[in-house]
Amino acid sequence: MIDYHLHLWPHEESSVWYRLDQIAQYCERAAAAGVSELALTEHSNRFVDVMSLVGPFWERYGHEPTSRVMADYMAFTARNSLDAYVTLAQRAKDEGLPVKIGLEVDYYRDQMDVVSELLAQYPFDVLIGSVHWLGSWEFDDTDSPVPMHEWTLRDVDQCWADYAVAIEELAASRAVDVLAHPDLIKVAGYLASNPAYYWDAMADAAAAADVSVECSSAGWVKPIGEQYPAEGFLDRLVARGVSFTTASDAHRLERVGDRVGDLADLLEARGVTTLAAYTRRQRVNVPLRGR
């Protein structure tokens, strides 16, 4: 098994630490859960290098109060060094720990080309892509009242439509290798009247771009209470021949490798026998239950 979505730092930490022993602890925890390979995938918006490149993109949308919340969030998180992070991950690999150097690359509309140019300067093994905001609205921040109140003001079907377009554009950019938590838009429990329409569009986009899709246990601990992707969405991805990774999206030691066996059960029930592993952004199929 693999866990290809792991964070070293919780969201509430701003200036972070760089510790090899933490990564070693992650590997021990993963091994106990039957996981033999990890990918470190910290959020791109934590790093000054990335955010100074894309700039205050939320200002283009001018929506209050969410743009103010976004500005505060980015000011809090974007304080760290991408060089230091990659150096730490490379040292972990050099020490023989079973980790891949990765990054969770947020979708920056109309800016993925310049982001890709920056990331190409580093020895990443795998880049996972996520859509966490629409315009200046961070729709998945279930702990913040302002973003959550927006759900009561907006047309839910339009939110799903906008999210699907963002996923399609992210996949088509070929800036990432894996689409993380592909139906994250459901996280707060607001479902489109016909989710299947958007599942089809996003599954088509993943297949056309030949990107892998993440099966994540993180949704089981969110308000929606189900894995990403939903079973109907997963069925469509399998039918299109899309490859998969498995992931916990852990931000703390205790969630590393969380319920990856349950994810494997979902995949096996649909005839999936392999997962996608990556080295220097080259994909190779590995056995679902082994490595």
**230-244 pLDDT tens trace:** 999 999 999 999 999
Tally of CB atoms within 10 A around 137:
23
The model's pTM: 0.97
Classify the C-alpha dihedral 207-211-212-213 as positive or negative.
negative
Model confidence band, residue 15 (pLDDT cutoffs 50, 70, 90)? confident
Percent of the chain with pLDDT over 70: 100
pLDDT digits (tens, 9 = 90+) for 28-65: 999 999 999 999 999 999 999 999 999 999 998 878 88
pLDDT at residue 32 in the model? 95
pLDDT, average across residues 168-179? 97
pLDDT at residue 218 in the model? 98
pLDDT at residue 291 in the model? 56
pLDDT at residue 44 in the model? 96
- Contact assessment for residue 138 and residue 69, using Cβ atoms and an 8 Å cutoff: yes
140: pLDDT strictly greater than 90:
yes
Integer Cα distance of 149 and 146 in angstroms: 5
Retrieve residue 149's tokens. Answer: 């109140």
- Side-chain-facing half-sphere of 206: CA atoms under 13 Å: 34
pLDDT at residue 64 in the model? 81
Q: How far is CA 272 from CA 35, 155, 199, 208, 235, in A?
A: 18, 36, 19, 19, 11
Tell how strand 274-279 and strand 282-287 pair up: antiparallel
pLDDT at residue 61 in the model? 85
pLDDT at residue 63 in the model? 82
pLDDT at residue 228 in the model? 98
DSSP assignment string, the chain: -EEEEE-SS-TT-SS----HHHHHHHHHHHHHTT--EEEEEEEGGGBHHHHHHH--GGGGT--TTHHHHHHHHHHHH--B-HHHHHHHHHHHHHTT-SEEEEEEEE--TT-HHHHHHHHTTS--SEEEEE---BTTB-TT-TT-HHHHHHHHHS-HHHHHHHHHHHHHHHHHHT--SEE-STTGGGTTS---S-HHHHHHHHHHHHHHHT-EEEEESGGGGSTT-SPBSPHHHHHHHHHTT--EEEE--BSSGGGTTTTHHHHHHHHHTTT--EEEEEETTEEEEEETT--
Mean predicted lDDT score pLDDT of the chain: 96
* Fold that domain 2-287 belongs to in CATH: TIM Barrel (3.20.20)
Q: How far is CA 219 from CA 50, 166, 198, 222, 259, in A?
A: 27, 20, 18, 5, 11
13: pLDDT strictly greater than 80:
yes
pLDDT, average across residues 65-93? 94
